[in-house]
Amino acid sequence: MSKKIFLLAIPVAIAAAGIYLYFTFGRSSARTAQVFDWFRDPASRPELMMTAGMRCNGAPFLFPTNGLIGFIWDDSFRPGHRHAGVDIFAGTEVGVTPIIAAYSGYLTRETDWISTVIIRVPKDPLRPTRQIWVYYTHMADRNGLSFVSPEFPPGIEEVYVEEGTFLGYQGNYSGDPLNPTGLHLHISVVEDDGFGNYKNELDIENTYDPSPYFGLPLNANENPDTIPVCY
């Protein structure tokens, strides 16, 4: 590489690194730092741990599992990425921490879903004229051993479940055994397409801010600093 090209490459690399650091640690750097500290010692902050079945501030949804709320709606982990849900970390081994239905509705598990279920809520408790879907995932180990309750085998559709129904256990399944996620539940509130189908959960524009459903500050644009918790 010539000296001129090398010198031109330096500011480009610095800019790329700056963008990466901004999206990863910028807007929510204070909260992210707390989460990574907790990862190193999950027993260190018991006051931040939530319990399955809690209802915070009179909100319609139950809290779905035990754990710390690590990453929230519209957090960013890399340039261009916008997190479409809430990640709750138990700090345990895989297949140990139960997950329950946050709200009553009709459960579906697609035939190829190893770690995932989705629950259709015909009347959104915040706006009864619309239908929503609640998506739960990572309920399997890194190799694809499913922790979804056997009551809900692949291919099951429209099974009514009450709030508080056991759905499965937290896992770390990512689809790649060599690159598992951290052990957690990812949950999101998904839009209906207007024809009775759920939209693609990976696109944040297809999801709702979960804050009013759980009675917690779960929007990274409005809560850049604190780990949400209620007692």
What's the whole-model pTM score?
0.88
What pLDDT shows up at residue 27? 58
What pLDDT shows up at residue 25? 44
Give per-residue pLDDT as tens, 14-38: 233 333 333 344 556 788 899 999 9
Which residue would you say has higher pLDDT here, 28 or 66? 66
Give per-residue pLDDT as tens, 208-225: 999 999 999 999 999 989
What pLDDT shows up at residue 30? 85
What pLDDT shows up at residue 92? 95
Q: What are the backbone dihedrals phi and psi of residue 40, each rounded to the nearest 5 degrees, phi first?
A: -70, -25
Q: What would the mean pLDDT of 48-65 be, rounded to a whole number?
A: 97
Q: What would the mean pLDDT of 115-126 be, rounded to a whole number?
A: 98
Residue 2 pLDDT greater than 60, yes or no: no
- What is the rounded distance in angstroms from the CA atom of residue 231 to the CA atom of residue 225? 19
Structural domain spans, the chain: 28-214
**Long-range interactions of 22-28: CB distance < 8 A, separation 24+:** 23/76, 23/77, 23/78, 23/79, 23/80, 23/81, 24/76, 24/77, 24/78, 27/76, 27/220, 27/221, 27/224, 28/72, 28/75, 28/76, 28/220, 28/224, 28/225
Give per-residue pLDDT as tens, 134-149: 999 999 999 999 999 9
What pLDDT shows up at residue 110? 98
DSSP code at position 184:
B
What pLDDT shows up at residue 23? 39
Give per-residue pLDDT as tens, 174-193: 999 999 999 999 999 999 99
CATH number of 28-214: 2.70.70.10
Q: For the chain, what is the mean pLDDT?
A: 89
Q: Which region among 27-36, 42-51, 148-157, 192-201 has the lowest average model confidence (pLDDT)?
A: 27-36
Give per-residue pLDDT as tens, 157-166: 999 999 999 9
